[in-house]
Amino acid sequence: MASVDKVGRRAPIVHSVRVDKVSRGAQILRFIRAAVVVVITSIMLIPVFWIVLTVFKSHPDAIAVPPKVVFKPRLVDSFVFLFTDRFLLPPPKLAQYPDECKESWTECVRNKCSKPRSGKELAWYECVALEGGQLVTGPGKYGEYVINSLIIAGCSTAAAVVLGLLSGYAYSRFDMPVKDFQLFFILSQRFLPAVVITIPIFLMYKDLHLQDTHLGMIILYTVVNLSLSVWLLRSFIDEIPREYEEAAMVDGYTRLQAIRKIVLPNALTGIAATTVFCLIFAWNEYAFALMLTSDVARTAPAFIPTMIGRGVVEWTSIAAGSLVFLIPVVIVTFALRKYLLRGVTFGAIRQ
């Protein structure tokens, strides 16, 4: 047992831990941590920042070497180019337009310029095109394809989440034969990369007349997303105590009523997270879209790289296309952030 001599044998205590010192150190540490987070976040946001810059550059500025960070912003050009089909006016035709119409598009609008032959007044976006020496021939495909993307991603996400919720509930609550194998089988959907299975699917879809249709793409994305959503939602539902529904069932509700009234409100976090994951996949998917769609059901990701423009690669409108394309996902994620950040907290009973 310890005694005085043991104390004496020990080395004297040379260091002592002072609370005030520790807390100042902790403060500095906290500051450094915050600074590091800011730096990393900025680095990760550089591509997005660069896209935004490019959108507002004129074409020469966009392709300038070395890249320009300071430039004269062009606010609408790239968007007009994105949403319209144009052709480059040959010099003789261009010469027919008065100079005040070609100087700048604001002048053109103010002067109410019109087409030399038909005398039809130029719309503001036609003025913008004219400033770049181009004539608008009609609306571009981009708008159509974004709408395709919205329909396909939206429907397939909804389908994947609803189906995933029902089967996730079943896998969480019911006993069934070879349950583990079934779950493994479902997950195996994700084992092969898209590129490998596009050709067989293409052939299959051709026979089924699903190729280049909205329905075909919705089914395909739903199937691919389903494995993720079943697994995610099952684990979220596992976290909801069975007693909740059982109490409701004893209280006079059917199982489906209990699911609607009890499980759904408590699974909102999981549903939100799954929705975002599924949406991001369906929205960004490229390989299937490129192979299986050509025009009717073509989605934006497959289209953007094909915007070679007329004569030159229109980097500014590609950037504008990317930016427009980012917005829906950002909105959905932002709207659901409350659920995503809250995490799974069941406040009812403290353990």
Partner 1 sequence: MATIELRQVEKKFGDLHAVKPMDLTVHDGEFMVLLGPSGCGKTTTLRMISGLEAVTGGQILIDGRDVTWAHPSDRDIALVFQFFALYPHLSAWQNIAFPLQAEGESRVNIEKRVSEVARMLGIKHLLHLRPKALSGGDKQRVGLARALVRRPAAFLMDEPIGALDADARETMRAEIKQFHLTQNATTVYVTHDQIEAMALGDRIVVMSMGVVQQVGTPAEVYYDPANLFVARFIGSPGMNLVTGGYADGVVHLPGSNPYPVPPAWNTALQREMGSEGDVIVGFRPEAGRVTGTGPLVAEVYATELHGAYTVLHLSLNGTVVHIRADRGIDYPIGTAVRFDLDPEIVRFFDPQTEAALRLPFDGAQDKAQEPALRRAQDTALTGGSTNG
Partner 2 sequence: MADVILQNITKRFKTVTALKGVSFDIKDGEFFVLLGPTGAGKTTTLRVISGLERQDEGSVLFDGESVDHLTPADRDVAFVFEQYSLYPTMTVYENLAFPLRSPLRRMSEQVIRQRVEETAEKLRISPLLERTTAHLSGGEMQRVSLGRALVRDPQIFLMDEPLSNLDAKLREALRVELQHLQKTEGSTTLFVTHDQIEALTMGDRIGVLNKGRIVQIGTPEDIYDRPATTFVAQLVGTPRINLHEAVREDSTLHVTNSTIHLPIPAGDDLPPSFLLGVRPEDVQIHSEGGFLGQIALIEPLGVQTILHVKTGEQTLLSLVPGMTDLRVGEEVRFNVVRERLHYFQPDGTRISVERKT
Q: Which stretch binds partner 1 (CB under 8 A): 3-11, 184-192, 194-202, 339-347?
A: 3-11
Looking at beta carbons only, is 110 or 261 nearer to partner 2?
Answer: 261
Looking at beta carbons only, is 16 or 351 nearer to partner 2?
Answer: 351
What does 4 bind: partner 1, partner 2, none (CB cut-off 5 to 8 Å by kind)? partner 1
Question: Shortest approach of partner 1 to residue 27 CB, angstroms?
Answer: 13
Question: Shortest approach of partner 1 to residue 1 CB, angstroms?
Answer: 5
Q: Do 210 and 219 touch, CB atoms closer than 8 A? A: yes
Task: Select from 42, 246, 294, 330 the one that contacts partner 2 (CB under 8 A).
Answer: 246
Q: Which stretch binds partner 2 (CB under 8 A): 142-150, 244-252, 273-281, 310-318?
A: 244-252
Rounded CA separation 59/260 (Å)? 54
Looking at beta carbons only, is 100 or 246 nearer to partner 2?
Answer: 246
Q: Is 178 left (phi over 0), alpha (psi -120 to 50) or beta?
A: left
Site string for partner 1, 77-106 (x = CB under 8 A): ------------------------------
CA 341 to chain centre: 18
Closest CA to 242 of 101, 161, 146, 346: 346
The conformation of residue 275, written as its DSSP 8-state character, comes to H
Q: Which stretch binds partner 1 (CB under 8 A): 1-9, 51-59, 154-162, 338-346?
A: 1-9
What does 349 bind: partner 2, partner 1, none (CB cut-off 5 to 8 Å by kind)? partner 2
Buried b (16+ CB within 10 A) or exposed e, 306-342: ebebeeeebbbbbbbbbbbbeebeeebeeebeebeee
Task: Select from 5, 9, 18, 176 the one that contacts partner 1 (CB under 8 A).
Answer: 18
- CA 261, 335, 78, 53 dihedral sign is negative
Task: Select from 5, 16, 41, 43 the one that contacts partner 1 (CB under 8 A).
Answer: 16
Looking at beta carbons only, is 92 or 343 nearer to partner 2?
Answer: 343
DSSP letter for each residue of 164-216: HHHHHHHHHH---TTHHHHHHHHHHTTSS-HHHHHHHHHHHHHHHT-TT-HHH
Task: Select from 1, 46, 75, 178 the one that contacts partner 1 (CB under 8 A).
Answer: 1
What does 118 bind: partner 2, partner 1, none (CB cut-off 5 to 8 Å by kind)? none
Looking at beta carbons only, is 6 or 72 nearer to partner 1?
Answer: 6
Q: Which stretch binds partner 1 (CB under 8 A): 15-23, 185-193, 277-285, 337-345?
A: 15-23
Question: Shortest approach of partner 2 to residue 186 CB, angstroms?
Answer: 23
Question: Binders of partner 2 among 320-349, rule CB under 8 A?
Answer: 346-349
Q: Do 279 and 153 touch, CB atoms closer than 8 A? A: yes
Beta strands in the chain (DSSP E): 84-88, 134-139
User: Which residues are CB-neighbours of 85 under 8 A, at least 6 positions away?
Assistant: 136, 137, 138, 139, 140, 141
Buried b (16+ CB within 10 A) or exposed e, 258-291: bbeebbeebbebbbbbbbbbbbebbbebeebbbb
Which residues are at the interface with partner 1 (CB under 8 A)?
A: 1-4, 6-7, 10, 13, 15-19, 22
Which residues are at the interface with partner 2 (CB under 8 A)?
A: 241, 243-244, 246-254, 257, 261-262, 265-266, 346-350
